[in-house]
Amino acid sequence: MPRPEQLVRPRLLEPLRNASEYNKITLISAPAGYGKTTLLAQWLQAEEASLPFAWVSLDEQDNDPVRLWRHIIEAMCQVALEDEDFGADVLVTLSTAGQNFLEIGLPMLINELAEVPHRMIVVIDDYQFVTEERCHESVVYFLEHLPEKIHLILSSRSDPPLPLGRLRARGEMNETRAEQLAFSEEEAACLLNEKMELDIGPDDLSVLLERTEGWPAAIYLAALSMRNREDKHAFIESFRGSNRYIVDLLGEEVLACLREEVREFLLRTSILRRLTGPLCDAVVDREGSGKLLTEFSRANLFVVPLDEQGEWYRYHNLFSDLLLYELRSSYPELVPILHKRASVWLEGEKFFDAAIRHAVAATDYERAGLLVTRHWYEYVTAGQTKTVENWLESLPEELTTHDPALLLVRAWVCTLSGRGEDGERLLTRAESLPTEGPLPDGTVSVEAGVATIRGVFGLGGVQSTVEAARRAMALDTKRTSSLTGLMHFGLGSSLYLSGERSAARKQFEEALELTGTDQPMLRLVSVSYLSLVATDEGHLEEAESLAREACALVVRFGLQKVPQSSWAPIALGNMLAKRGDLVEAQTTLEDGLSTRRRLPGLSPWPTLIGLLALARVRSARGNRGGARETLAEARTILQTYPDAGIFPESLERQERGLRTIKRRDGSLDEELTRRELDVLHLLASEESTSQIAKRLYVAPSTVKTQVKSIYRKLGVSSRKEAVEDAYARGII
């Protein structure tokens, strides 16, 4: 959120305050340069203590329902501080529901908002970037179901296609438009005479107001132009009669009466969205920018401070447009050079996202691609896969389909988001391209990179994953890759899934050695696996401490929205199940599983572990039917993964356990065979023996024999009794 400037406009603040209490929505609709953002920032800063607000500034990329709402929900998360999990489920739904987000995710969000105990203001600035119909639909839905305590503020350069007429008629909307935002005489006098000490007489002020129509941006530019003028009256007269576009006219004046040094500085740095001393030095290739910026700020010239320390600034809206156009028309050949200088400095200061944006603006796609392939892992491991996805989208298709390093990054992004098949296709393509040598992120070769992904996600089946992981490590001889820890994890998990627990443990421990606190995702999954190992071996205290460490990582790094964070509750639930804390185990496991169920394309292994543990818990709590349901879910997953390590045996064992039934006197009896179970289910229906036989494709005599066997094993003598008994025991 931007810091407010100095001119306060109390006549505009009052309606805002009232609206936030009595209306659903405030619409601030006026073209650029009317001070919409400034007004909101001022108001909210004044109210900060008493009125929590979520602020979202949109840009072109937010014209997509998923991105738009992700942005909004993440801002809300920062406000709903008492509830750490706020919006976590909704965000996961966002990634999967796609088209169906409106039907599934929005109602969820509304419900969560309804639970927030305090009032909240949601500000969406620059709504004009939203043009997609589905986005507007989602906002309309949101408005129609808005909980009482929430007030929405939309600030836009044009009226959004929402049912404004209806909202007005119902008195649900407060509007502030250009007419209200235009400067009044008092406000103009305040700015020009009090703040900028220009000493303009009332007649001249009137002329100025008339010519500019009160447009704040123009008045501000006029003030800048008059700073160094002796005869302000003459100046105002001269442009009174002019037909020129006022920003153009005044902008020219402003630029013309600047010192050469200042002019060059402003023009060159106009390419930056945010300015700070050293960055500007790099771009203009001279020193002293920091001082210059401070001077500007103190004299209320050109720049708006973005923080309290006076380190970062931005230019006034239309002023920066003016500068940029002047730069492009006067020095077009300089533009890519300046962007490149910015990109280099930003990379050095680890603002990789901005560095990549500037590289793209310089149309230096090679460099941009290099930056992406060099730094993608740091973002992914911190759960910011979306950022990497945005980078990839800003690169030309030629590059992203032919550069093996970029293909690998794309494969990571796909697989992490649950699109494993697409990922595998990208890997195959990467393998087919002729390349040699290490990749920018330190991976020793494309082959090693491909093996690493396959080794980590295990989508090819357990045995092939073990092979892939071993191959990755064998290739990584110099251990140069930032992904070495990941390779150990990959090997560890595939060993665990093959049943080799102690070998697995060594790998996880190695992975943790190599992983710092800046790789929370990798720590999380490694620690979770170690917890599983400890649980298997009966070291429950250790298992608990490890699982809770994993959960703490999720909270500390805000990873609730990352699907892989579901590892933590699954590991914890698994331990709790073994310890016999059945109720807590069930909730925890179901929590982790619900996340994974929404993204069916994710790796199946943690899901299977969770399902098997959940089945045990449900059965132990007496819900054999439920346990059977859970195992059936597991079996469906296994159908897609023939190479499934320890799971087929574990699943079979549990299924058998559920079929074992006790006689009434408590002693264990023969199990019902699978066929007998099928028949028993059908006995519960109204169907005759021959109908049952047809269903099962066997002869009626076979069914009769099975029925006799069922009666014997259950200790009953009629169909009715058999069905009743079966229900009672939870067999069906």
Partner 1 sequence: MKSGSEQGTHVSSIGTVYRIVVRDELSGRFAAAFEGMEIETRCGRTILTGEVIDQAHLHGILDRINGLGLKLVSVESMPEDPYSSR
Q: What does the binding site for partner 1 look like in residue numbers (CB under 8 A)?
A: 31-33, 128, 131, 157-158, 215, 217-218, 243-248, 251-252, 318, 321-322, 325-326, 328-330, 389, 392-393, 397, 400, 410
| Shortest CB 500 distance to partner 1, Å | 38
In DSSP terms, 154 is beta-bridged to 27, 124
Distances (CA, A) of 175 to 28, 51, 180, 268, 307: 6, 20, 9, 38, 29
| Shortest CB 326 distance to partner 1, Å | 5
Residue whose CB is less far from partner 1, 178 or 540: 178
Residue whose CB is less far from partner 1, 407 or 658: 407
Residue whose CB is less far from partner 1, 39 or 246: 246
Residue whose CB is less far from partner 1, 194 or 393: 393
Reading across the β-sheet that carries 173-177, which strands appear in turn?
A: 53-57, 120-125, 150-156, 25-29, 173-177
| Shortest CB 243 distance to partner 1, Å | 4
| Shortest CB 41 distance to partner 1, Å | 20
Residue whose CB is less far from partner 1, 400 or 588: 400
CA–CA gap between residue 413 and residue 456 (Å, rounded): 13
Sorted by sequence, the CB contacts under 8 Å of residue 245 that are 6+ apart come out as none
Output the CA torsion sign for 195, 200, 202, 205. negative
Residue whose CB is less far from partner 1, 90 or 318: 318
Residue whose CB is less far from partner 1, 242 or 660: 242
| Shortest CB 251 distance to partner 1, Å | 8
Q: Strands, DSSP E only, in 493-605?
A: none
Q: Strands, DSSP E only, in 379-451?
A: none
CA angle 286, 287, 289 (to 5 degrees): 105
| Shortest CB 688 distance to partner 1, Å | 54
| Shortest CB 338 distance to partner 1, Å | 16
Q: What does the block give as tokens for 582?
A: 């059945």
Residue whose CB is less far from partner 1, 131 or 685: 131
| Shortest CB 185 distance to partner 1, Å | 21
| Shortest CB 384 distance to partner 1, Å | 17
One-letter-per-residue 3-state SS of 653-720: HHHHHHHCCECCCCCECCCCCHHHHHHHHHHCCCCCHHHHHHHHCCCHHHHHHHHHHHHHHHCCCCHH
Residue whose CB is less far from partner 1, 33 or 383: 33
CA angle 481, 482, 484 (to 5 degrees): 65
Residue whose CB is less far from partner 1, 243 or 502: 243
Helix (H, G, I), strand (E, B) or coil at 153: strand
Q: What does the block give as tokens for 52?
A: 């929590």
Residue whose CB is less far from partner 1, 174 or 400: 400
Q: What does the block give as tokens for 425?
A: 């296709």
Q: Are 126 and 2 in contact (CB under 8 A)?
A: no
| Shortest CB 572 distance to partner 1, Å | 36
| Shortest CB 32 distance to partner 1, Å | 5
In DSSP terms, 304 is beta-bridged to 314
**What values do phi and psi take at 303, rounded to 5?**
-110, 155
Distances (CA, A) of 63 to 42, 57, 73, 630, 710: 27, 12, 15, 40, 62
